[in-house]
A and B are shown apart, each in its own frame.
Chain A
Amino acid sequence: MLRFLSVRLTTSLVALVGVMVLVFFLARLTGSPASLYLPVDATDAMVEAFNRQNGLDQPLPAQFAQFAINALQLDFGQSLAQQRPASVAVLSAMPQTILLAVVAMTLTLALSIPLGIFAAMKPNSLLDRTITLFSLFTASIPDFWFALVCVLVFAVNLGWLPTSGQGSLASWVLPVATIMLHPIGVLTQVVRGAMLETLNAGYVQNARARGYSWWRLAFRHALRNAALPIITVAGDRAGGMVNGAVIVSAVFAWPGIGQVLVAAVYNRDFAVIQAGVFVVGIAVILLNVLVDLVYVAADPRIRVS
């Protein structure tokens, strides 16, 4: 088990290094920030001074070497747009996004596990078909459009919810719903599939023959064994919530990592892009480790081997 974890960690770190190299050069391709941060009539001398001040006058390999040395010390440089260290700019936005993701994931699991179990109760019944249709439906709605239509209906027409901000509890409803939209359908289908498989297993049939109630069968016996695929997909989708966060920041002006990253791309704020991808990458790796640990807790066979 320890070997497995260490192999996974090593490969993830190699992937992260690859990502950082890729992002470094991609960001440099977006053009010089000088044209964006200096006035239109800036003289050549001003551009030169700006480049020298930000280390942009060095040849690319030298810039990369400097970046790598600093990155090893977790120093990603100054944000050009925000006038503070890039890592601070990124890390200060993380709690908002993590909180949003945790709330959305908890609600997604709380809804999709019962839904999936009910669907698996009687395969091909009306209930099963309805739940399957619902999950395919949520997977087919464009999330940005869903967010806009919700704003139109609930905020503009009915006036029940605010269009943006994050002060009151009500302002959380639409962002959370938008982020949940795609994961919930996928997870419901995964729960259904995994439950169908375990409910047909011999030991469950045996327990049924001995007269245990269906509820006890499903929630006590089958769910534990159906947990592995559910955990995997839930972990996968939790990592994918960064994408949802970008949409949420675009529609609801939600101040999180999504907004910081999008603004950094448009502002050619290299330092923030690099720090942001690094932090998101680390978060995804930590999430994977967490999923592996939950695996071990859920399935003793992994612990033994």
Chain B
Amino acid sequence: MQGRIGLLLRSPLALACALTLITLVLVALIGAPLVKDIANTQNLRLRFFPPFSLDHGWTYVLGADALGRSMLAQLIVGARTSFLVAGATVALAAVIGTSIGMVSGYVGGLVDAALMRISDIIVTIPSLLLALSVLFVLEPSIFNLIAVLAVARLPIYLRVSRAQTLEIRERVFVEASRAIGATSATIIWRDIRPLVVPTVMTVAMLEIASVMLAAAGLSFLGVGLQRPDVDWGTIVSEGREYLTRAWWATVFPGVAILVTALAANLLSNWMRSSGDPLQAAAMGASASREEAARQ
């Protein structure tokens, strides 16, 4: 771990990305409670107040929306929701997907086949359509949004952890554990999990950006979050109605998503290239299909 941080300090781009992400998370966590009231304050005299002017204080430096609410404060409040949704979705999908994947790979047989078919089903339905129909049934809320996104993202973790488990299962130290009478649960927890988790962490880092984009897309389509909950996607979709009148209401929240996703993507790209080459190989998207075709 220490080696990783040393490497990070020596790579300016990766360091910049890490600092950007940390800053954004801190602003979201600390700033959101502080500016919540400002974000909800409507000031009709400041409707469509243009950005980059300090005439009405720092809160209006990024302009105001159709109801005269400060864009900057909205963005900070939206940041917290966006990070919460992305973080919780990735964590939920990673924990559940990896657990199922390890059990499925270790136990094998009918359980494995059934779980893989379920994963196929999830992959077959266009994820946006699944989310659209489920969120249309359930009320739009942060919890439902996280649950739906997590289900759609499960197969990735399932496949990665299962593929690794299949390989680790055959190693000598697992056989040794079995020989001294360890139960399957112990073997999965003690022998297999420590080797699977680092790969899953790398995948999870890569997933944060795409989950953030997916959540924003759903909010944009009007089935993700709705007022009083607000995330960056909601702000874009609200700003869209005044696109020609006030470009800043649409452009700024999108820039916020872009900056966050880009920082996360650059960082995970760096993690892969600087990390264990074996991990990079295990994540190869196409490996499993080629193997299947060659059999």
Contact = CB atoms under 8 A, between A and B. Distances in A.
B128 A243 contact: yes
Interface string A134-154: 001101111111101101100
A29 interface: yes
Given A15-B121, A262-B221, A149 B254 contact: yes
Contact of A266 (B118, B136, B247): B136
Given A148-B240, A246-B129, A261-B129, A190 B285 contact: yes
A16 B122 CA distance: 10
Contact of A246 (B120, B221, B258): B221
Nearest to A244: B128
B294 A305 contact: yes
A139 B120 contact: no
Given A145-B250, A242-B129, A261-B129, A302 B294 contact: yes
Interface string A18-61: 11001100110111000000000000000000000000000000
Interface residues of B, number: 50
The A contact surface, by secondary structure, is: helix
Interface in A149-180: 149, 151-152, 156
B54 interface: no
Nearest to B243: A152
B51 interface: no
Given A18-B118, A23-B133, A152-B243, A4 B292 contact: yes
A243 B294 contact: no
Contact of A142 (B118, B121, B254, B292): B254
Interface in B79-126: 117-118, 120-121, 123-126
Contacts of B120: 11-12, 14-15
B257 A14 contact: no
A19 B125 contact: yes
A116 interface: no
A265 B285 contact: no
B250 A301 contact: no
Interface of B: 117-118, 120-121, 123-129, 132-134, 136-137, 209-210, 213, 216-217, 220-221, 233, 236, 240, 243-244, 247, 250-251, 253-254, 257-258, 261-262, 264-266, 269, 284-286, 289-290, 292-295
Interface residues of A, number: 61
A145 B262 CA distance: 15
Interface string A204-221: 000000000000000000
A26 B134 contact: yes
Given A4-B293, A233-B286, A247 B269 contact: no
Contacts of B221: 144, 246-247, 250, 262
A247 B265 contact: no
A277 B244 CA distance: 36
Contact of A229 (B125, B213, B240, B290): B290
